[in-house]
Each structure stands twice: as structure tokens, then as C-alpha cells.
Amino acid sequence: MKRLQPAPWRSLLLAAVALATAAFPASFSALSLNRDAILRGELWRLWTGHWVHGSNYHLMWNLVPLVGLGLLFERTLKQRLWTLFLLGAPMISAGVLFLQPDLPEYRGLSGFLNTLFVAGALRSAAEERIRGNRAMEMIYIGSVIGSFVKIVFEAWGGAPLFTEINRLGGVPVPAAHFLGGLVGLLGLLGKYSFVQPRSVDLPETREKGRLPI
């Protein structure tokens, strides 16, 4: 009997933190990614700024994709999702502050969503390659390329494709999305790349007790 897909509890936990943050608007000033505050040494904002959102509409458009990506990729990423957030969030934050010196403040999970998507899709592509399913491998790789094309198009057009800019409570920052995608790509680097699975990592291999060859 096929086992039920486990709930994406890591993604749900991140979503719960963002919801809890939204319930206490008074906390926004202490948590958002604020340039002056960072320069004063309030480095926790490199992480917490991703939990703060400009409006409930902005929050919804971040949490729904977060849970969706968890359903798609959390089974293959597992605890690597924490690595992506703990290392990726401050890299995105620092990159945004460096690339946009005129930006006083940044809020939202959208940059990290691109990290999660790229890393999850690339690891899934690698798993399909091990299985010999070249078609699915190419679909995953194509989706990653498509995500970067979307980011470039939005930056060129000056507006997001799927959201209403006047309801976001702020101005979109395509640089954060691009940096998030780059952080996902970093998982490909190095001898012990965490997005590159071995055959023993595949669920069907573990369930059948096969060893990698």
C-alpha cells in the first residue's frame, strides 16, 4: 500500500511564524529588515524581516506558495529546508541592502520562496535523473529557467505578473527574488552538494532496502 504523503510541517511552521507576526503589527518595527537598524547591530532582522509583510494581501501571496512548495518539495529537501532558511535568509537580506543602497526597508518571504523553489526543483531533477526519467528531469530544470525569466521580465516591466502592486503595501523588489534564486543555485556547488541526491536517498530505494550501486 502506498504511504500517504507526509504533511509539510517545516513549511507550515514557517507559515505559522509569519501568521503570528502578522497578528502583532506592533512588532513590525522591531523585526523588519531596516537598513539603519542593521547598521546599529540589530542583525536578527536579517532573518525576521522575511516574516514581516506589507499587507494581508502580501502575506497571502507569500504563504500560499510557501505551503504549496512545501507539498511539492519538502519530502525531498527534508531538514535541508532549515539550512536553506538559516543560511539563505541573511544572504538575501544582505544582498538586497548591498544592491539597493537607496532601499530603507524590506519585508516579505518572496525572496526565500525563490530559494525554496530552485533548490527543491533542482534536487527533484537530480532524483529523476537517478530514476532514469529524463522527461521529468527536463521539466524541473525548465521550470527553474522559467522562474529566472519571470524575475527578469518583472524587473524589466516594473510590476509583478500575478499580484496587484497597489495591494502589496510596498514596492516589489525583484533583486530579492533574483538573489533568492541564486541562493537556491548555490546548493549545486561543492563536492558535497546538498541538492544532489544519491540513489539511497530516494524513498523507494529506502523502502525496498536496496543499496546504491
Over the stretch 171-208, which tens digit does the pLDDT of each residue have?
889 999 999 999 999 866 644 355 555 554 555 544 44
By three-state DSSP, how is residue 33 classified?
A: strand
The pTM assigned to this predicted structure is: 0.86
Domain boundaries, the chain: 9-189
Over the stretch 88-122, which tens digit does the pLDDT of each residue have?
999 999 999 999 999 999 999 999 999 999 999 99
Give me the architecture of the 9-189 domain, per CATH: Up-down Bundle (1.20)
By three-state DSSP, how is residue 108 classified?
A: coil
| pLDDT given at position 38 | 97
Task: Report which of residues 43 and 2 the model is more confident about.
Answer: 43
Backbone angles phi and psi of 210, in degrees to 5: -80, 150
